Amino acid sequence: MTGSVHVVGAGLSGLACATALAGSGRDIILYEATDHAGGRCRSWHDALLDRVIDNGNHLILGANPECFAYLDRIGGRAGLITVDPVALPFLDLRDRRHWTLRPGNGPLPLWLADPARRVPDSGLLDYLAVLKLAFAGPDARVVDVLPEGSPLTDRLWKPLAVSILNTPHEAGSARLLWSVFRRTLLRGANACRPWIAGSGGLSAALVDPALAYLARFGARVQFGNRLKALERTADGLVSALDFGSDRIVLAARDKVVLAVPPEAAARLLPDLPVPDRFHAILNAHYRLESPVTLPGGLPLVGLVGGVAEWLFLRDDLISVTISAADALMDRDADDLLHLIWRDVAAATGLDPDHPAPGRIVKEKRATFAATPEQGHKRPRPQQSANLLLAGDWTDTGLPATIEGAVQSGHRAAAMAAQ
């Protein structure tokens, strides 16, 4: 008898864990408090726009092996489209200068020797400063290593740091930023290749195939089932799960994986240290009357010097992401649609005074604050012999990303299988 694995939470970490264990001979039960899976990575049909939109725009990079292992397991890779050639276009809204980073094919950054591939007004030696991140201590901030004031920091390091960490440049963890840079910019084009949601949105790639996969292997998924309490023995073992109307007593070989947000984990485990500061992400989706071309000719572009940070284009839908957007969260949606549209118009040549129909999506607690201080509060995955944690907020060594979420789910699955 191999026992059951009770996975609590059907976000990406929970889905990754459950699908990794499905077909292993164990009974897999996945519980979700809401009526849908995917957590912060999901799609729905918006009646106003009459289009499928995502709660936010997410990049999956070639250097995300855990995510691609998950996608290939569930058959979700077909729901993504890749950016080819590998390039990251940027536009500075202040002076209209634009440039495109085009990493080379090899692991050595020899492509930086070509001025046409670099940020305007930056020299080859300027890029060596990023290597200082490799030696940053656990309490070092990005601004301590890559100080503001240089064109390269202003136009590249700072925008990348804010979007990767979802934390202001002056507060973000240098060590966490390095964990991403060393896997991407320093590994060449294939590692930097962006993959974005296709016409079916994020759910078509990351969520719906996972639910179908679980059904195929007989795993049970229970929506609308919120865990109220964990009953534990004196030595920390989980003895029962209390869902209010239902109480599940665990057998000797059963395991529990908590793949819930940090605030829910802290409620269930009052002595557990968890990150307790968060930053918001703001997304805007506009349905255009006619097709447009973004600067650089690719389906995404990074903006510098405005409010909008990244534009993503999918057919006639243009989506905007603004990271660390706490200061914008209390503003009226119509006001935000007009404000953000001016940056969209500046990048596309559309009329700045006549916004397209749009939808604002606010994630007030999108990710934990990726600061050194909050990093010290990220817990280890194993809490007892039968209790494991999963989630992008646990100690993955990465910021709160899709890769980190999936990695944590796979790690919990490997431990649960022992």
Q: For the segment 112-156, what is each residue's pLDDT rounded down to a tens digit?
A: 788 888 898 888 888 888 999 999 999 999 999 999 888 899 999
Q: Which of 150, 167, 192 is the last residue of a domain?
A: 192
The pLDDT, as a whole number, for residue 291 is 87
The pLDDT, as a whole number, for residue 105 is 80
The pLDDT, as a whole number, for residue 116 is 81
> Does 380 lie in the same domain as 254?
yes
> Does 351 lie in the same domain as 311?
yes
Looking only at the bridges linking them, the beta strands covering 255-258 and 387-389 are: parallel
Answer whether 0.85 is exceeded by the pTM. yes
DSSP assignment letter at 164: H
User: Tell me, what amino acid is at 52?
Assistant: V
pLDDT digits 0-9 by tens, 276-321: 999 999 999 999 999 899 999 999 999 999 999 999 999 999 999 9
The stretches of 173-261 forming alpha helices (DSSP H) are 174-181, 189-192, 201-202, 208-216
Per-residue tokens: 58: 């997410």
Give the whole-angstrom CA distance, residue 21 versus residue 28: 7
pLDDT digits 0-9 by tens, 150-198: 889 999 999 999 999 999 999 999 999 999 999 998 888 999 999 999 9
> Does 296 lie in the same domain as 148?
no
CB atoms inside a 10 Å sphere around CB 290 = 6
Q: Which residues form the domain of 390?
A: 4-80+199-275+376-416
Domains held by the chain: number:
3
> Does 239 lie in the same domain as 141?
no
Q: Which of 133, 168, 192 is the last residue of a domain?
A: 192
> Does 242 lie in the same domain as 208?
yes
User: Tell me, what amino acid is at 369?
Assistant: A
> Does 297 lie in the same domain as 270?
no
> Does 380 lie in the same domain as 269?
yes
Asked if pLDDT for residue 12 goes beyond 80, the answer is yes
Arithmetic mean of pLDDT over the chain: 95
> Does 293 lie in the same domain as 225?
no
